[in-house]
Structure 1
């Protein structure tokens, strides 16, 4: 049986049913009585009920009555699901209960602490809650704004402007040259870890041109053909990683030290060893839940 190309990719699977009609202001309050469920987040930390789910019953949510925001995400298995922001102390209180534990969103994805489809729902919750926490005032006139459409819009009561949650697109690319690929180390990476190059798209820029620009800026490598492979929501705070494979047209590397500590061409066999954890220099790759891992694994398996 062929393997799902997105197998293991964090935050990329969701069974959340979104329907804008249910975000009507009159409809949202009635949903709470319709078998509603809830996810609770304190920043990047998520409350989990043992043995492993972030989808809590309404009664669980009553243990954290003080919430900064409560937003309607959509439906899961026909039941409404809400997301709420709680303070760190409330999260700690859950963590002291043996029926619950609290983990950060990266750890949840890396350890498979919840079902894969819950990760996509949590990505929606985290991105929305983070946006509301940063956008309480109108960018047009400065007045305090109001939550509307269940949390998928903010409105200014003074000037009438509507504000919508943003997603920041990021290109992440595996650059190839024959049987080798270009990988880099950002200064913040743990020792020995290499990954794909990445960078934000700029206004008026295509995905292909963003790949070419970032590659040239960070490593001096010129890129020709660019092909899309897969995408991944990345809720830190609200990006969409656009995974691509690109063909290099030059070989000499000149790194930008502000962006990278190192960059190297790795033969396919070395990438395989990095993924397997057997590289002779101890070089490693991002965890399986990251799209960089998916791109590197596909590069290795192409030769099989």
Structure 2
């Protein structure tokens, strides 16, 4: 069974990628577009009501900055992102993906996820890695090209595995990262390495972080995590037999097994704070638990 709902994988936008190098079409689309301004910290303007909504501006009022064509909705309305200072407007707050990503509608969730990812990429790829020349933006913001040697750079993506480990008693393993505050806990995760499969990455990361040998690795779903440029690939896996937890102390401060009743009791008592609903970690936990869990360290 796969994950049924992922906060940042609900995209309904048509990216119309084949139009990105059609400069005349992009120019015309820009003139009548809805523009989402993103600042260098990945924050966006939001109208906070019963349900938060992105606060767009017109192309005419958009600040100067690098433009990224995001796509069109079902009514063919075009959307762009501009990286620049957020304008001050009455009734508009500044927010970020962690806070509102799970609360936006499907269209706006995909827009802000795409926009924040592209803003982060542009901020770190302004120069050619071969010769150091300043790169220029082409393909409606989706390519940076070196004017000296012609090298093209495309948006970077770092795949990471994130996994819920269960034991023979169907208990879930939760851990606290070494830099996290007390009571905060989540499932295990780590970046892929060159030359390994996804399943190998899951087994390696679990062994490295908590010393467990796991098997029966099953893929459940994925979602982007543009903070700054990850793709989170969600799995479950099984740790057979009695095994001792051996923590990699530079990464993991604490780890323990939870039965479902123990997990619910710990959360309700405030002894444990779970990941927010915007994260795939939360969805992996609730998939195992069989329903929604209370509380989180994010919305």
TM-score, normalised with respect to structure 1: 0.87
Q: Does 1:198 align with 2:189?
A: yes
Contact 2:68–2:140 (CA<8 Å) still a contact in 1?
Answer: yes
Query: How many Å separate the matches in 2 of 1:253 and 1:131?
Result: 37
Q: Does 1:268 align with 2:260?
A: yes
2:245 aligned counterpart, secondary structure? coil
Contact 1:73–1:125 (CA<8 Å) still a contact in 2?
Answer: yes
Contact 1:173–1:244 (CA<8 Å) still a contact in 2?
Answer: yes
Query: How many Å separate the matches in 2 of 1:273 and 1:19?
Result: 48
Per-residue deviation, residues 35-68 of structure 1 (Å, max 9, x unmatched): 3111111122101245432251416x61x5232x
Per-residue deviation, residues 76-130 of structure 1 (Å, max 9, x unmatched): 231111001113xxx2x52xx32322112211125x2x32431222111111111
Query: How many Å separate the matches in 2 of 1:176 and 1:159?
Result: 51
Q: Does 1:284 align with 2:273?
A: yes
Q: CA deviation at 1:252?
A: 0.6
TM-score, normalised with respect to structure 2: 0.88
1:261 aligned counterpart, secondary structure? strand
Q: Does 1:98 align with 2:95?
A: no
Gaps of 5+ in 2: 292-299
Query: How many Å separate the matches in 2 of 1:231 and 1:257?
Result: 28
| Runs of at least 4 residues off by over 4 Å | none
Match of 2:112 in 1: 122
Q: Does the C-alpha gap of structure 1 residues 288 and 22 become closer, same or farther in structure 2, counting only changes over 3 Å?
A: same
Q: Does 1:10 align with 2:3?
A: no
Match of 2:226 in 1: 235
- What is the aligned counterpart of 2:133 among 136, 143, 149? 143
1:244 aligned counterpart, secondary structure? strand
**1:48-63 maps to which residues of 2 (within 5 A)?**
48-49=46-47, 51=49, 52-54=52-54, 56-58=56-58, 62=61
Match of 2:34 in 1: 37
Query: How many Å separate the matches in 2 of 1:20 and 1:284?
Result: 40
2:53 aligned counterpart, secondary structure? coil
1:32 aligned counterpart, secondary structure? helix
Gaps of 5+ in 1: none
Q: Does 1:158 align with 2:148?
A: yes
| Greater displacement, 192-201 / 16-25 | 16-25
